[in-house]
Structure 1
Amino acid sequence: MSGPPPAVAELRHAVRAGLRGSDRPVLAACSGGADSMALAAALAFEGRAAGVRVGGVTVDHGLQPGSDRRARTTAAVLSELGLDPVLALRVQVTGAGGPEAAARTARYTALAAAAADHGARIALGHTLDDQAETVLLGLGRGSGPRSIAGMVPERADGAGTWWRPLLGVRRETTRQACADQGLPVWDDPWNTDPAYTRVRLRTEVLPLLEEVLGGGVAPALARTAALLREDLEALDALAAVELARLAAEVGDGGLPARPLEPLPAAVRRRVLRGWLRAAGVPDLQAVHLRAVESLVTRWRGQGPVDLPGGAGVARASGTLVVLSP
């Protein structure tokens, strides 16, 4: 008896370990595009074998004509695949940052709420090609090693658990998997609109790099991201140990300044970031961390450093303290 087509087999293999490693339900986020549709089909098949309940959720942003019809069609396909429950959610897209950013915020808020309601992880269809584009965006913006490290396969935050099992799978494979299974695919016109930076990376920059460098650029970028994530995880672990040790020396929410100074800069800034986040300081950027760090490495008796949200940090009697708004 022959097995499934190679593309279908690759998709199923990509989700298998993550499903068998946890009995927690999964909700597959599905736009109707090839990546998320192939993911939903693989999860439906492997979920039955693993004994894990798999549902689906599609979000209607209401930004394109016929978006409500597309959401209903996608939900119907998910139901036919055997996903349960299947949710079609309508969101209001508002806020700053342009329509793409506002739509993403609205979508993730809706997904997080659905996950909380069902005690589920959210499975997202980002592929190796998406990872490569993310790395290039981080490089171009100079936004630090964490952005160049790309997306992590699984991440839990205050909103939920986000699982990306297809980060090792090419976009062409998801499309082939859909074709092999006769699954309908919706091609979002935004994904070919050159007004968006990511689209130009996908259609202009990456093909040029492939041509100039002789191919293999996207997998190379994804490998770079994976290697960098390993280093970042090691630095984060070292910083967590140092933060616990230093915070215990003071014991009142402050941080001793002198023991911070000899730490490697990468560890020292992570200690400061962890300390400030624990104190509830929001929206920390590199410029804020460097300003706080100057109270340690360039101490000249200067005054407090202002931080987002109206908070601040001052150095008093050799101790860094957070000033409330």
Structure 2
Amino acid sequence: MRGFTADALTRLDTEFAAAMSAAGLDQHISFVSALSGGADSTALCLLMSRFAVASGKAHRAIIVDHGIRENAGAEAARVAARMQKFGINVKIEKVSDKAPETGIQAWARRQRFEIMLAHARRDNAALLVGHHAGDQAETIAMRLGKDSGLVGLAGMKRTSWRAGVPIGRPLLDWPADRMADICRIFACEFEDDPSNLDRRFERIRLRQFMMQDKAYGAKLCRLGDAARQLLAMLDQTLADSLARDIRLDAAGYARLPDYRTDTKHDATTYLADMPEIAWHRAMGRLLHQVGGQTYAPSYEALCRLRTRMQRGLSSTLSACLVTPAGNTDYLVVREVGRTLQEQPVETDLDAIFAGCWHVTSKIPGKVLAFGHTKLAQTPSRAALPPEWDVIPHIIRQSIPVIQSLDEEVFYPQIMDSTNNHNALDAPANARFLPLAPGQALQPM
């Protein structure tokens, strides 16, 4: 390495280790860094590589080639070669799907995350991204414009969860212009993405504005800090109530007991009687996890949902069906929908289905909701396992099943070593992600 001093690197190592600890990321033993080749991801990858060596952790980087630009493949190879000189294990993944004519950035972000999440899940690793204070300010500014409420104002978290994988942002409090300085300390070049100058994109317009008024971005970050502190206090206050008022079930749904009664208790207020901000927080988190969506529902949508629930009506929101059950309860169930949603599953490789089920199988084929199988339409009970009877009809429709290549159906959610309805010795499992360790009603 050229252009660095030992003292500068030592200070960076100490500061980065503190940032990893503050985000709770130092508890993980394996890491995958998202590497685009720009200054932000390059700085993160360089710092993480040194942290991994010093702490005995596993680390590698993933480059996703979207194929959007003509020279994207050459750029990916150049970035990989550059980082490999620093002893970093790098893998390039090429997106096979064709980019759409509109919504390119959202499409690219979705493709990128799906690939990187799959790698992190395979490694049992935390996924690291190079978001910094500038990105945080832009995110908050965009959400301000969409009237997204307190959750939106809080911006991004240092650590969040998506599809069963922890996503870490250890550089979230670091200034944007520091990323290039870090690369220079390592004497490491980085790429300049021409799309960062394209004013068709809202985020780019905001970025250029805040480069002229850096005080504005700092104010937005302080606003985000205040919102996150308020949410943390609210979550602590809600903890007991959520544990009592929300019953998550391994079959992939939630029950809100006694939601429609007027019975008063001496304990803390029931979910139905909570103040608006607390109710929105609790229901937003619940819908976010049961429905498997990337983002929480909007403030206006939650207001409409609460009004309908107060009237005892059913609603659909965030890929969930929220419906009365019996005389007093409400159910929150993932909505199967009219569009067939299926996903290939390979032997001994896991998959995340519908954003909320972690499926593993030794049966190659595809995973889909039971409601989309032919068996869901048959009047015969002979083809169904007896355990199916204890699961209400509305709930079983969204439970994932595996359809083998010869169209035999397996039920991984209820399959175990002592009770395999199918004759084949083919163990499979489907785990409802909100009940996975460390994820039950995780803050958004």
TM bucket normalised to smaller: 0.7 to 0.9
Structure 1 window deviating more from structure 2 (310-319 vs 71-80): it is 310-319
Give how far 1:188 is off: 0.3
Q: Which runs of 5 or more residues in structure 1 are unaligned? A: none
Superposed CA offset, 1:193-240 (max 9, x none): 111111111112x245x2xxxx53323322221221121122234334
Give how far 1:305 is off: 3.1
Query: Who is 1:134 aligned against?
Result: 139
Give how far 1:129 is off: 0.8
* Amino acid across the alignment from 1:134: T
Give how far 1:154 is off: 1.2
**The one of 303, 309, 313 aligned to 2:323:** 313
**The one of 303, 312, 336 aligned to 1:290:** 303
| Aligned residues between the structures | 310
* Amino acid across the alignment from 2:91: L
User: CA–CA distance in 1 between the matches of 2:331 and 2:13?
Assistant: 51
User: CA–CA distance in 2 between the matches of 1:245 and 1:16?
Assistant: 38
2:274 is the alignment partner of 1:273: no
Task: Pick the structure with more helix per residue.
Answer: 1
Query: Who is 2:255 aligned against?
Result: 253
Query: Who is 1:233 aligned against?
Result: 232
User: CA–CA distance in 1 between the matches of 2:176 and 2:306?
Assistant: 42
User: CA–CA distance in 2 between the matches of 1:304 and 1:273?
Assistant: 16
* Amino acid across the alignment from 1:16: A
Give how far 1:281 is off: 7.8
Give how far 1:117 is off: 2.1
2:268 is the alignment partner of 1:263: no
Q: Secondary structure of 1:166's match?
A: coil
User: CA–CA distance in 2 between the matches of 1:194 and 1:244?
Assistant: 46
Relative distance call for 1:304 and 1:232 in structure 2 (3 A) is same
* Amino acid across the alignment from 1:271: A
> 8 Å contact 2:117–2:163 — kept in the other structure?
no
Query: Who is 2:76 aligned against?
Result: 71
Query: Who is 1:87 aligned against?
Result: 91
> 8 Å contact 2:64–2:94 — kept in the other structure?
yes
* Amino acid across the alignment from 1:294: T
User: CA–CA distance in 2 between the matches of 1:42 and 1:279?
Assistant: 36
Q: Pairwise mapping of residues 26-175 of structure 1 onto structure 2 (< 5 A)?
A: 26-84=31-89, 86-91=90-95, 92-94=97-99, 98-175=103-180
Q: Secondary structure of 1:253's match?
A: strand
Relative distance call for 1:114 and 1:281 in structure 2 (3 A) is closer
* Amino acid across the alignment from 2:304: A
Q: Which runs of 5 or more residues in structure 2 are unaligned? A: 248-253, 263-269, 334-393, 398-444
Relative distance call for 1:239 and 1:313 in structure 2 (3 A) is farther
Give how far 1:140 is off: 1.4
TM norm structure 2:
0.63
Relative distance call for 1:96 and 1:308 in structure 2 (3 A) is farther
Give how far 1:157 is off: 2.8
Structure 1 window deviating more from structure 2 (215-224 vs 58-67): it is 215-224
Structure 1 window deviating more from structure 2 (304-313 vs 217-226): it is 304-313
Percent identity over paired residues: 25
Give how far 1:12 is off: 3.1
TM norm structure 1:
0.83
Structure 1 window deviating more from structure 2 (131-140 vs 174-183): it is 174-183
Structure 1 window deviating more from structure 2 (313-322 vs 158-167): it is 313-322
> 8 Å contact 1:11–1:174 — kept in the other structure?
no
Relative distance call for 1:277 and 1:63 in structure 2 (3 A) is closer
**The one of 298, 314, 319 aligned to 1:304:** 314
* Amino acid across the alignment from 2:276: A
| Greater RCO (Cα-Cα under 8 Å, separation 6 or more) | 1
> 8 Å contact 2:255–2:330 — kept in the other structure?
no
User: CA–CA distance in 2 between the matches of 1:310 and 1:47?
Assistant: 40
Superposed CA offset, 1:239-276 (max 9, x none): 3421322347xxx9243233444321111233333454
Query: Who is 2:404 aligned against?
Result: none
* Amino acid across the alignment from 2:167: W
Query: Who is 2:215 aligned against?
Result: 216
* Amino acid across the alignment from 1:148: L
User: CA–CA distance in 1 between the matches of 2:72 and 2:65?
Assistant: 6
Q: Pairwise mapping of residues 182-201 of structure 1 onto structure 2 (< 5 A)?
A: 182-201=187-206
Give how far 1:131 is off: 0.8
User: CA–CA distance in 2 between the matches of 1:122 and 1:278?
Assistant: 19
Q: Secondary structure of 2:255's match?
A: coil
Give how far 1:23 is off: 4.7
Structure 1 window deviating more from structure 2 (166-175 vs 95-104): it is 95-104
User: CA–CA distance in 2 between the matches of 1:65 and 1:5?
Assistant: 41
Task: Pick the structure with more strand per residue.
Answer: 2
Q: Secondary structure of 2:60's match?
A: strand
Relative distance call for 1:229 and 1:317 in structure 2 (3 A) is same
User: CA–CA distance in 1 between the matches of 2:316 and 2:124?
Assistant: 39
Give how far 1:277 is off: 5.2
Q: Secondary structure of 1:171's match?
A: coil
